[in-house]
Structure 1
């Protein structure tokens, strides 16, 4: 599968806003460097939304942009050359197989950086992992909605003691990547990759749900998340900007889950909610 890199002349707050807006389309990862925002999307999926993406960028001031096609080989090579280990507060190391291992192998997640989003580098993945480490998941069953590489599902099983995690993503590459990474981390028996939307997850009610997606998808899926969550269960939400926190809070409360804690990083927010017992 070929990918396309959308390179936009934007940085700082504008890049953050664009990242949140573009996440409503099937862009799988983002990076910001040298005054440019880079957004990556499968070439076949760009054809369905390019006119809408261009209209969005034009509406924000005709931002300069270029589209660059990247083949499979070059995509993987670019990921591997750029991928650096991520240290989550000295408690968990997220690394690739070609990096030096952590001193304590139980406190690391090994992720092969391929074509699926979720290596810990983006602020939302960092926030979700950080919040996840605060939960006692021993013996509990969970759902990772929009699992990407499976980094959160794997961390829940390997580092937090979760008994089972359904890892759901609509992308075929994400399913394959999650399966590969779960095996590499020794949790293939506890992490179950599934391809589809949250409706394909039939293992509920879940003791915890992880959803690092986008504001619009989160708010649309909130009633379903609440229905799938066991009484007393934890719901971790991210993928939205600080300025959208109130919108997500209101959607959670309307669905019957109570926000209990929020944390922020680089303009992004994670919201920890709980369904009343």
Structure 2
């Protein structure tokens, strides 16, 4: 498959992270930063369908990108070069198969990203992983919405969750979630599905992990609330501080009360809970 790389100069690391999150809503499959330049990789055949929207988004931020066609690469080698292990509060190590195992007493999730978003390096994935460790998921059934690599679904299962459903709109992500779940010994307890919130009709979950973006979260929160058990937990990330009031207000309208809030590098996490009544 032929790829195109979009090169965007970024003023600082925070701008690079924000832009990565924005571009992840399009069919970009891998990201790396190099000397103030964000590189976003996309299959050439999928660029035409979104290029105008991507350019408009960049323009609204006062940025301009340059598209360069690239030859087929060894993508695993690319990830190996740009994917150091991620440590979460001394409690969890997210690593690739080529990294050293976690120290004794530290949980680990082993993933090979293969172009999917969600390696733990982005602040929102780190926040979600930390919250999952604290959520108390043992014996409960959950949903990883916008699963990427499946890292959160896998982590929940390793923390004792009974079953997990992992949903993403990207077929690469769905396949990668299946591969990673199997590699971590939890493949039989993960149902990985290609699609969006329309797949939730008629399903029920004890907790939902959704690391996407503000607009999709606001649009899909009614579906989350409808499928969430009474007293169930909804953990959201993928947005900034200015988005919190709109999301908490939407939650209140749907009978979801704010339990907690976390922040990392400007990115936010909200923990909501469905009322029992």
- Structures share fold, TM-score greater than 0.5: yes
SS in 1 for 2:49: helix
CA distance in 2, matches of 1:149, 1:6: 22
8 Å CA contact retained: 2:174, 2:193: yes
Aligned to 1:44: 45
Aligned to 1:267: 266
| Number of residue pairs matched by the alignment | 275
Is the deviation greater in 254-263 or in 201-210?
A: 201-210
SS in 2 for 1:48: coil
TM-score under structure 1 normalisation?
0.91
Cα separation, partners in 2 of 1:45 and 1:141, compared to 1, 3 Å: same
User: Structure 2 unaligned runs (5+)?
Assistant: none
Cα separation, partners in 2 of 1:177 and 1:261, compared to 1, 3 Å: same
CA distance in 2, matches of 1:203, 1:181: 27
RMSD after superposition: 2.1
SS in 2 for 1:98: coil
* 1:225 and 2:227 correspond: no
* 1:9 and 2:3 correspond: no
Cα separation, partners in 2 of 1:41 and 1:270, compared to 1, 3 Å: farther
8 Å CA contact retained: 1:140, 1:162: yes
Cα separation, partners in 2 of 1:31 and 1:97, compared to 1, 3 Å: same
CA distance in 1, matches of 2:165, 2:79: 26
Q: Any idea what the Cα deviations from partners look like across 1:159-182, whole Å, max 9, x if unmatched?
A: x10000001111111111111111
CA distance in 1, matches of 2:226, 2:203: 9
CA distance in 1, matches of 2:229, 2:72: 41
Instruction: Give the deviation of 1:123 after TM superposition.
Output: 0.6
8 Å CA contact retained: 1:23, 1:214: no
8 Å CA contact retained: 2:145, 2:210: yes
SS in 2 for 1:264: strand
Instruction: Give the deviation of 1:23 after TM superposition.
Output: 4.2
User: Structure 1 unaligned runs (5+)?
Assistant: none
